[in-house]
Structure formats: structure tokens, C-alpha cells
Amino acid sequence: MSSTQPAQTTPRRYQLFIDGQFVDAESGKTFKSPNPATGETFAEVAEADKADVDKAVAAARKAFEGKWSKMSARDRGRLLYKLSQLIEEHAGELATLETMDNGKPIKESTYIDLPGVVENFEYFAGWSTKIEGETIPVPGQMFNYTLREPVGVCGQIIPWNFPLLMAAWKLAPALAAGNTVVLKPAEQTPVTAVELGKLIAEAGFPEGVVNIIPGFGETAGAALASHPGIDKIAFTGSTEIGKVIAKAAAENLTKVSLELGGKAPNVIFADADLDQAVNGAMMGIFFNQGQVCCAGSRLFVEAKVKDEFLARFKEKADKIKVGDPMDKATLMGPQVSMEQLNKIKSYVAIAREEGATVFSGGASPELEGAFQNGYFFQPTIFSEVDNTMRVAQEEIFGPVTSVITFDNDDDLLRQANETMYGLSAGIWTRDITRAHRFAKAVKAGVVWINTYNMFNAASPFGGYKQSGYGREMGKHALELYTQVKSVWVDLSGKPIGWFGK
């Protein structure tokens, strides 16, 4: 296989973005971010820790109480829209950097991630002037109204699976509502977040409104979550780390929103259009190398069509091109890191021990040239899975799906809801009554009917149970970044209560 990776002789170098300036970490430390397709160092990045978090929070506080609070909502919206235009102008370059730092296919970076980033900043630019209070008809000669105000300084910790898109999901509503931000990108994929800092500066945001501090979760992330100067923490990542974040924030009673793991049921009924359902199952688990919190990793198939469905599913899965993510024909690139690759391999071994059958895949592909040391894994299908197995209950976060059979609607719903997660679910059926009944009964924040992995900046996203709390995107995201103040005015001019007599 010939490489289409852009030639790179030396690693790219990145600093922290604090108070409108690109600066080294106080400690002088840096860390390496590898290209997952080759294992070679792609970038060397300044490593933030507590001292840098302190600086960033101080800068964000100064901006929040200074220039940013004095800027009109209209001007905030214009800045967000200008940023969306700058991102669109640099979309090609940003997509390439995203693919080289994360490993996702260039087709996905170009046609899914970057358009989604632009869309989110455009959408929330329009909300800046529409965040309103209300009047309440209280009794007596009183006037009561509410103000919806920004929360303040927001700490935002984003994951590595959609680095730039998750930055947009967090930053856009926070800025539209008038907050300032300290953003910590994942240590595995810091590059595009810092590149975004350049465009934020170019767009004309005041210094300190957005601060970007790459670093490790145990140091920079922990310092941010427990910082007394932070008014709100938003985190996207694993349920395990989400619990750590929530505990750290609780010390200061910091507001928290969490978008965490999932183990989504993706349901194939016998009456479904099987060609459509197979494509939906493919999109549900193999998109972004399976590194998706809402991935349809539990594939429930009605028993009477199991064999036919599995045959079609395997045929398509075996044809997926795995390899160079810069090749436009590639459908699956590498996993994000060696750590993630090893995690997937360990779960495959566990599934075999539990008695599941490897129906397709189950190993790393043999690639040539520059990609021999990449973190690749084959699309993998397990059949003969019981819903109680670890492979069916624990989030693998890779291109591994567990096929589980069911006999009727009641059996399905029981199994679908037997999980600690509740982020998403999908159903494939021609029976519209059954589809709506399932959508109502399944415990999940997002339900797709005869489709999968559909998102829009106007539509809320978030989970039930241990998949987190709070909703991102849409008007519901503004609830995460605003607080309500109630104001009472006496219109009578008379003393009130017993003390006025």
C-alpha cells in the first residue's frame, strides 16, 4: 500500500493559548502527539498543569467581568458568526490536521466533522440575541420578571473522538450565552483545538474569553475540575472519568454537565428493510472506527431473520477498506492510540472466553509500509452473544459489535434497557406503531428510527442513567450555560407585611 500521508520531516509545535497569547507551559514541559496511522510523532505540544490552569482561569475571569460582559449580545453573535466563516475558509487544512492527529478517514473529517463545526458556531451565533427573560403574573401590586444571565467562567474538557466538533459543541453555546471558557482538549488529540485558538484570535474575540490548555487529565483536567474559580464544568468522556469530575466539582458546588458513555441497542425487526438495516448497522458501529459514545454496539436482531441479516452484515463488513486515513477510499482508519487498540484486543479476548463467536474480524489487519506500526483493527462482529456478557455490557469504544437475538417486543425491551447506560438507541422496522412504542419505552436520550447517527445543531443530545446529564446542542444547551435571576418590584408604594403597620 502506498502512503498518501502528507510528508512531514519534523513534528509540528504548539503552545498554550492563554489571555489571547500563545505561551509555553509554566513548567516548560511538552508532550508528543503521535499520528495514529503510523505511530510517528505528529506534534509536540506544551503540557499545561495546575499553574497554567490558574493563569487561564484568572484570564477568563478578567475577561468575563471586563470587555466580554460589556459587549452587546449582537456583537457576540457577530463574532461567533465570523469564527464560523473563518473555520469554513480553513476547513481543508483543519480536516487534514484532524485526520493526522486523530486517525479518522479524511472523508469523515471533510464531510462530517468540519461542516458540523461550522454549523454549530453559525447556529449559536443566532441565539446570542434571543436569550430572554420572562414576566410572571404574581398576585397583588407586584411586578416580577426574570433575567437569564451567563454562569461565568466555564471549564470544558473534551474527548479525542471528535476533537474539533466537540470543541464546537461546548464553546458555541457557552460563548453565545456570554460566558468565558477554559478549554482542555484531550491529550491524544490537542492539535485542532489550538489551531482553533488562532482563528478565535483572528476573529477578534477579546483576550481571555477563550483559553486553550492542552494537558493530561490527571493534572490539567483535575486542576480545572476542582478549581474554585470555575463556575461550571462541562465534560464529555467515559462514565468512569465523569464520576471523578463530578466528585471534584462537588467540593466547590460547581455546576456540572456530563456527556458520558453508552452501550446503545440498535434493533433489527424481521419486517425491516434489511438492506437499509444492514447499512444502518454499519453506520452504527463502524463509523469513526467505532469510537463513538452513541455507537450501536449491541445489535439486537429478531431471531427469524438472524441468519439472513448476519450473512449480509458480514459481507459488507468484510469489504470495508481499512488503512491510510488520508486515502479518500478508506472507510476505517486507525484507533486513536495504542492504549485504545490494546483495550479493544483485550475485550475481544474476553468475549471469546465468555463464549461469544467471532463472526467477522477480531484482529488487526496486516498493512504495509508506513502503516505497519499504526493502531488499526478490523471491523469485528460477535455472534452468539448473551446480553449479560461483559462484551455486551461494557463500553469497548471500538469497531466491535455484539449480535443478540430476541423473539418478541417485550423480550427486546427488557434486554435493551438492561444496561447502566442510556445515551442512544436505534430501531429498524416498517411498523410505525412499534417504532414509536419502542421510542417511548427505551431509556435513552436519543432514539433513531430507520436511521442512525443523525445530528443537527438545533437538536438536543444527551443521555439517561449513567450516560450523563444535561443536553448539548439546540436551545437546551443554553440551559447549561445560563442561570435565572428573579426580580421583584413593588408597584403599590405602600408598606408591606406586619412590620409596616
pLDDT tens-digit profile, the chain (501 residues):
344 665 566 899 999 999 999 999 999 999 999 999 999 999 999 999 999 999 999 999 999 999 999 999 999 999 999 999 999 999 999 999 999 999 999 999 999 999 999 999 999 999 999 999 999 999 999 999 999 999 999 999 999 999 999 999 999 999 999 999 999 999 999 999 999 999 999 999 999 999 999 999 999 999 999 999 999 999 999 999 999 999 999 999 999 999 999 999 999 999 999 999 999 999 999 999 999 999 999 999 999 999 999 999 999 999 999 999 999 999 999 999 999 999 999 999 999 999 999 999 999 999 989 999 999 999 999 999 999 999 999 999 999 999 999 999 999 999 999 999 999 999 999 999 999 999 999 999 999 999 999 999 999 999 999 999 999 999 999 999 999 999 999 999 887 777 765
d(CA 438, CA 240): 28
From the centroid of its chain, how far is CA 494? 54
* Residue-level pLDDT at 2: 41
d(CA 371, CA 373): 5
Count the neighbouring beta carbons within 10 Å of the beta carbon of residue 68.
22
DSSP state for residue 7 in the 8-state scheme: P
**Closest by alpha carbon to 208, among 184, 179, 170, 185?**
179
Residue 20: Cβ-neighbour burial (10 angstroms; 0-12, 13-18, 19+): middle
* Residue-level pLDDT at 496: 75
Q: What is the DSSP string of 249-313?
A: HHTTT-EEEEE-----EEEE-TTS-HHHHHHHHHHHHHGGGG--TT---EEEEEGGGHHHHHHHH
Go through 171-206 and write b for each residue having 16 or more CB atoms within 10 A of its CB, e for each that does not.
Answer: bbbbbbbbbbbbbbbbbbbbbbbbbbbebbeebebb
pTM tops 0.75: yes
* Residue-level pLDDT at 417: 98
For residue 210, give the H/E element and its range. strand 210-212
* Residue-level pLDDT at 497: 74
Q: How many CA atoms lie within 13 A of 414 on its CB side?
A: 8
Q: Give SS3 for 322.
A: strand
Q: Which residues form the catalytic set?
A: 259, 293
d(CA 459, CA 471): 9
Pairing type for strands 232-236 and 255-259 reads: parallel
* Residue-level pLDDT at 1: 37
From the centroid of its chain, how far is CA 280? 20
* Residue-level pLDDT at 229: 98
Count the neighbouring beta carbons within 10 Å of the beta carbon of residue 489.
9
Cell digits for 310?
448476519
pLDDT tens-digit series, residues 237-267: 999 999 999 999 999 999 999 999 999 999 9
Q: Give SS3 for 83.
A: helix
d(CA 121, CA 127): 10
In 324-400, which ranges are continuous DSSP H helix? 338-354, 390-393
Q: Give SS3 for 364.
A: coil
Q: What is the DSSP string of 180-208?
A: EEEEE--TTS-HHHHHHHHHHHHHTPPTT
**Closest by alpha carbon to 282, among 199, 360, 376, 364?**
360
**Can you state the angle between helices 73-89 and 114-127, rounded to 10 degrees?**
170
